[in-house]
Structure 1
Amino acid sequence: MKITMKKLALALAVAALPFAASAHKGWLEPSKTVLSVGQWITVDAATSTDPFLKDHNAMRLDNLVITAPDGSKVQPENASTGKLRSSFDVQLNQAGTYKVAIVNSGVSARWEEKGQRKSYPPRGQAFTAEGFAKEVPANAEKLAVTESLTQLVTFATAGKPNDTALKPTGVGLELVPLQSITDLYVGEEAKFQFLLDGKPAADVEVEIIADGVRYRSSVDALELKTDKDGKFAIDWKTPGLYWMSASVSDEKATTAPAKQRRTAYTAVVEVLSP
Structure 2
Amino acid sequence: MNSILKYALIAAALGAVVPAHAHRAWMLPSATVLSGEDPWITVDAAVSNNLFNFEHFPLRLSGIGETASANKAANERTPSQLQITAPDGTQLAGENGNTGRYRTTFDVHLIQKGTYKLALENARLMATYTENGERGRWIGELEDLQANLPGSADDIEVVQSNSRMEVFVTSGKPTETVFQTTGEGLEITPLTHPNDLYAGETAEFVFTIDGEPAADIDVNIIPGGNRYRDELGEMTLKTNADGKVDITWPAAGMYWLEAELDTTEGVAPPVTRRRASYSATLEVMAL
Specify the TM-score bucket, using the shorter chain as the normaliser: 0.7 to 0.9
**How far off is 1:29 after superposition?**
0.5
What is the match of residue 51 of structure 1? 51
Change (3 A) 1:91 1:132: farther
Query: Cα RMSD between the aligned structures?
Result: 2.0
- In structure 2, relative to structure 1, the CA distance for the partners of 1:55 and 1:70 (3 Å cut) is same
Could you tell me which residue of structure 2 aligns to residue 245 of structure 1?
258
The one-letter code matched in structure 2 to 1:243 is W
Helix, strand or coil at the partner of 2:178: helix
CA distance in 1, matches of 2:220, 2:233: 10
Report how many residues are paired. 248
The residue that corresponds to 1:16 in the other structure is none
1:105-144, Cα deviation, whole Å (9 max, x unpaired): 11111223455432223xxxx547557634x323323221
Query: Is 2:92 the counterpart of 1:74?
Result: yes
Deviations 1:44-82 (A, max 9, x none): 111122422322221121311000011110110011112
> 1:39 & 1:77 partners in 2: Cα distance?
14
1:31 maps to which residue? 30
Are 1:65 and 2:83 an aligned pair?
yes
In 2: Cα distance, 1:267 partner to 1:156 partner: 12
CA distance in 2, matches of 1:113, 1:176: 44
Structure 2 residue 165 is the aligned partner of structure 1 residue 152? yes
Residue pairs, 1:35-184, within 5 angstroms: 35-36=34-35, 37-61=37-61, 62-121=80-139, 126-127=140-141, 129-130=143-144, 133-134=147-148, 136-184=149-197
The structure showing larger relative contact order (alpha-carbon pairs under 8 Å, at least 6 residues apart) is 1
C-alpha distance in 2 between matches for 1:167 and 1:239 = 27
- 1:176 Cα deviation from its structure 2 partner: 1.2
What SS does structure 1 have at the residue aligned with 2:98?
A: strand
Would you say 1:189 and 2:202 are equivalent positions? Answer: yes
In structure 1, what is the equivalent of residue 216 of structure 2? 203
* Identical columns (%): 43
Query: TM-score, normalised on structure 2?
Result: 0.80
User: Tell me, what secondary structure is at the counterpart of 1:268?
Assistant: strand
TM-score, normalised to structure 1's length?
A: 0.84
- Give the whole-Å Cα distance in 2 for the aligned partners of 1:107 and 1:231: 28
In 1: Cα distance, 2:232 partner to 2:134 partner: 33
List gaps (5 residues or longer) in structure 1: 1-20
